[in-house]
Chains A and B, each alone.
Chain A
Amino acid sequence: AQKVTQAQTEISVVEKEDVTLDCVYETRDTTYYLFWYKQPPSGELVFLIRRNSFDEQNEISGRYSWNFQKSTSSFNFTITASQVVDSAVYFCALSPNNAGNMLTFGGGTRLMVKP
């Protein structure tokens, strides 16, 4: 069984603050993928990152960075210098590395960035 936990249901920050969204996962698979998606108020899911379980290198993309710690089964997401446009619900998700398998989503974290 797979499980993804996002303990923070809502986070509120002021613009330009850094914010970290936590994600902890459980899986018995040795090979899997981890994802982060952004869901703005319009509802569509915006892909942010996919990470293979064998690749523990941290990744940075502009103001976004991800910290993958296999030892603690965590895949945290940090936004530096947050902006109002970052306000959205962010989902962490897990998928085994088998063709056709579905994503298991965390409960999501609603991020509110205030001006």
Chain B
Amino acid sequence: GAVVSQHPSWVICKSGTSVKIECRSLDFQATTMFWYRQFPKQSLMLMATSNEGSKATYEQGVEKDKFLINHASLTLSTLTVTSAHPEDSSFYICSARNQGPRYGYTFGSGTRLTVV
């Protein structure tokens, strides 16, 4: 149980275009989801906290107009990278908090974004 599905697993896009990444909780309801970004050989950095039915909370330094987060249902959160540039190339991972006694947090498999 407690599976989070993230799609796509990888995407290559042209500079200036937008890319949407989906994160779905398959067998539990996720009122809160988290979006992380990971540059090569670095740790995971929290970008924003996504709350169902309300606006996301962005971490300092993260442009909310560039990284649009929508959490319209209890099982789906999306991250849209708008007007992507090569410096946005990174590994994006979503996470949902679940109430299971063992895990606490469940992670998606990540999306590797390459902007050319």
Residues of A within 8 A of B (CB): 33, 35, 37, 42-45, 47, 50, 91, 95, 99-100, 102-108, 110
Assuming A43-B112, A102-B46, what are 18 further A-B pairs, CB within 8 angstroms?
A37-B107, A42-B109, A43-B109, A44-B107, A44-B108, A44-B109, A45-B107, A47-B105, A50-B103, A91-B43, A99-B97, A100-B49, A100-B51, A100-B97, A103-B44, A105-B45, A107-B42, A108-B42
Q: Is B31 an interface residue, CB under 8 A from the partner? A: yes
- B31 near A100 (CB under 8 angstroms)? yes
A43 vs B38: C-alpha distance when bound (angstroms): 10
What residues of chain A lie closer than 8 Å to B44, measured between beta carbons? 45, 91, 103, 105
B19 to chain A, nearest CB (A): 17
A104 vs B102: C-alpha distance when bound (angstroms): 18
A100 vs B33: C-alpha distance when bound (angstroms): 8
Report the nearest B residue to A6, measured CB to CB. B43
Residues of B within 8 A of A (CB): 31-32, 34, 41-46, 49, 51, 91, 93, 95, 97, 102-110, 112
Question: With A43-B91, A100-B32, A107-B43 in contact, is A95–B109 under 8 Å at CB?
Answer: no
A107 vs B31: C-alpha distance when bound (angstroms): 27
A33 to chain B, nearest CB (A): 6
A94 to chain B, nearest CB (A): 11
What residues of chain B lie closer than 8 Å to A104, measured between beta carbons? 46
**Contact residue among A45, A50, A100, A108 (Cβ-Cβ distance under 8 Å from B93):** A45
B86 to chain A, nearest CB (A): 20
- B110 near A44 (CB under 8 angstroms)? yes
A37 vs B106: C-alpha distance when bound (angstroms): 11
Offer 14 A-B interface pairs, CB within 8 angstroms, sorted by A. A42-B109, A43-B109, A43-B110, A44-B109, A44-B110, A45-B107, A47-B102, A50-B102, A50-B104, A95-B104, A95-B105, A100-B51, A103-B95, A108-B43
